[in-house]
Amino acid sequence: MTIIRYPKRKNWEEILKRPTQTVADIEETVTSIFSEVKDCGDVVVRDYTEKFDKVKLDSFLVSAEELESASTRISEDLKDAISLAKRNISRFHSVQKTEKIQLDTMPGVSCWQEKRPIQKVGLYIPGGTAPLFSTILMLAVPAKIAGCEEIVLCTPPDENGEVNPAILFTANLCGITKVFKVGGIQAIAGMTFGTETIPKVYKIFGPGNQYVTVAKQLATKYGVAIDMPAGPSELLVVADDTAKPSFVASDLLSQAEHGADSQVVLISISENLLNKVTQEIENQLKKLPREEIAEKAIANSKLILIENDATAIDLINEYGPEHFIVCVENESFYINNIQNAGSVFIGNYTPESAGDYASGTNHTLPTNGYAKQYSGVNLDSFMKSMTFQKITKEGIKGIGSAVELMAEAEGLQAHKNAMTLRLNSIKEN
């Protein structure tokens, strides 16, 4: 691993570039499948499930019996761990509720804001080599707290037509009953248009591979919202000599094992720390079951030696990391000055994996620099803000003339008339 020493600002953009992939061929495939699912529904979904997942299914819907029996197929220790995580996630997201905000902007003019849940949401949960049952907690828990009426979960089946029992147990624990054995593009298309089996939803949440990512983006063209633009997972760590090199290395590798296109970045004002972490990465990498994947991601990694904290925070804000670990003596400087990050982890004993699973914060976060303008998933992601207003006769008298003048200046006579009629009515009485 090469250390980049004191890079000039004009080179930051090039140095911080994410691993990129061409999506031209992917877009063509996604568009074609979307069109077929829209026209033919379940038949096409079944065909693509057979093609991509190597299994022919008579029914996509996971039965109540399958959901219940999943509890017997995982260990008690794992069930306890999932339950602990659910409690913490529930606690943290429950306190995100906000009350109605109401204000009289002037006498007789009352305005207020209330929140309403999105009625129908879709959750996409990857299966494959890393069945992300933890993501069910991150999405289903706030969806339930928000009060979403219909929650649809899609996840790919294995070659035996089964779903990982930890996924089913977690879905059942969260009270999700509409679980479908459908993955990939066809799952996103199914939730976008609705099929004979899969309900149409208003917003789709969840991570996925590059095909799922492009499919979610295409869904927005058909009036379906998504949680956020997504890309390969990423982590940036800022550390100094107070950090434990073995801890830092483990954090970098924990993100690298997500996928070959993941990216990890380590920034430090200490070259000694960078060298120690490099050695730790080499030692720990050899012991990982997903060594080959992590090794490819590490090839995309950056070790950057920076002059001082002020320069470091500027570079970090320019990058806008999905996950940001602060492991320095002057941690308050970074906490107070970070502007662009999905989620922040502070100190030697706060690994990124804690937030991935059980601390209570949400792990569905903006990647690819979108932390500059997007928030991670939270309770509000499952809700809409609605404004209300009520105006009395007194209010009409106070606001009416201003409305008439502004409407006339914009050339919108009907707008003006709507106010003038009311003012005249009050004068007549």
Q: Which two tokens stand for residue 110?
A: 């009352």
Q: How far apart are CA 35 and CA 394, in angstroms?
A: 55
First to last CA, the chain: 83
Asked if residue 323 belongs to a known ligand binding site, the reply is yes
Q: What amino acid occupies position 33?
A: I
Q: Tell me whether residue 47 is exposed, middle or buried, using C-beta atoms within 10 angstroms of its C-beta: 0 to 12, 13 to 18, 19 or more.
A: middle
β partners of residue 155: 181
H or E stretch including 127? none
User: Is 186 labeled as ligand-binding?
Assistant: yes
Q: Is 48 one of the annotated binding-site residues?
A: no
Q: Which residues are identified as catalytic?
A: 322-323
Q: Is 47 annotated as a binding residue?
A: no
Give, in order, the Cα–Cα distances in Å from 162 to each of 60, 123, 182, 349: 10, 18, 11, 38
Q: Establish whether 356 is an annotated binding residue.
A: yes
Strand order of the sheet with strand 101-106? 101-106, 109-117, 383-391
**Is residue 410 a known part of a binding site?**
yes
Q: Which residue has the tokens 């002037």?
A: 106
* 93 is an annotated ligand-binding site residue: no
Judging by beta carbons within 10 Å of its beta carbon (0-12, 13-18, 19+), is residue 151 exposed, middle or buried? buried
Cβ atoms 57, 341 nearer than 8 A: no
415 is in an annotated binding site: yes
Residue 115 has which token pair?
Answer: 């929140």
Tokens representing 313 are 């925070």
Copy the structure tokens of residue 191.
């939730």
* 257 known member of a binding site: no
**Which residues are CB-contacts of 32 (< 8 A; sequence separation ≥ 6)?**
none
Q: What is the DSSP string of 326-357?
A: EESTTHHHHHHH--S-SEEEESTT--HHHHHH
Could you tell me which of 302, 308, 350, 346 has the C-alpha nearest to residue 328?
346
- Quick check: 169 and 79 in contact, CB under 8 A? yes
Annotated binding site: 124, 186, 209, 233, 255, 258, 323, 356, 410, 415
Annotated binding site for Zn(2+): 255, 258, 356, 415
Annotated binding site for NAD(+): 124, 186, 209
